[in-house]
Structure 1
Amino acid sequence: MKSIIRAAVIASALVIPAASFAQSTGHTTRAQVRAELAQLESVGYHVGDGDPTHYPDAIQTAEAKVGALDASASNYGGASSGTSQSGSRVSAADWNAMYSR
């Protein structure tokens, strides 16, 4: 009898950690997979292009590009031109135009 209880305790000790790592987010649908493939193809990655030597690098580069596109699309605010006039010098004519009356 003690051996059955001991076996049950050991079995439960082994099963509980395995169950805690199970994914609970659900399954990926075919539509989601097709959408992800379409995103990867839009940034230049082609599935089954016949070059398995560069597979990890190619897919990681494509995923990084998709991530950058998603991040730029979800940023708050509008697009910026990337230039700034902050700290520029003011000419004497501009100074006089602003502060003389």
Structure 2
Amino acid sequence: MKSWIKAVIAAAVLSAPLVSFAQSSASVSRAEVRGELVQLEKAGYAPVAEDASYPAKLQAAETRVADMRIAQAQAEGYGSSAGAASQSGRASKPVVDPHGVFFGQ
């Protein structure tokens, strides 16, 4: 009996890495990566091998690229307006049972 339990545990442990390496997204081509790098360089990012502020500079360049894409999309007139946000209705109030859960028990 103990050997059967050990075999089940061993099978579960050995099969776990197979599931964890599954990728749900499609792979990116070399040309797409190169195009993204060109856009980042146009936004002011300069890739240097020994740069201590690498993450901050890359994130700033990515933000500038995203801003340029939003501005381009707004200029073309596609998509929804970025400034149009509204809410309607009223705040919901929790329903409180005055008798409690166990009323009548």
Structure 1 residue 8, shift from structure 2 partner = 4.0
The CA distance in 1 between the partners of 2:27 and 2:10, in whole Å, is: 28
CA change 1:8–1:26 in 2 (3 A) is: farther
1:71 maps to 70
Q: Which runs of 5+ in 1 are unaligned?
A: 79-101
Q: Which runs of 4+ in 1 moved over 6 A?
A: none
**Letter paired with 2:70:** A
Report the structure number with the largest CA radius of gyration.
1
**Letter paired with 1:6:** I
**Letter paired with 2:5:** R
**Letter paired with 1:32:** E
1:46 maps to 46
The CA distance in 2 between the partners of 1:27 and 1:58, in whole Å, is: 25
Decide which moves more: 35-44 or 6-15: 6-15
Aligned CA-pair RMSD = 2.9
Q: Aligned pair 1:58/2:53, yes or no? A: no
Paired residues for 1:77-88 under 5 Å: 77=77
TM-score, normalisation: structure 1: 0.56
Q: Aligned pair 1:22/2:22, yes or no? A: yes
CA change 1:28–1:77 in 2 (3 A) is: closer
Q: Aligned pair 1:37/2:37, yes or no? A: yes
Percent identical pairs in the alignment equals 42
2:89 maps to none
Structure 1 residue 9, shift from structure 2 partner = 2.5
The structure that is helix-richer by fraction is 1
Structure 1 residue 62, shift from structure 2 partner = 0.4
CA change 1:18–1:69 in 2 (3 A) is: farther
Q: Which runs of 5+ in 2 are unaligned?
A: 79-105
1:84 maps to none
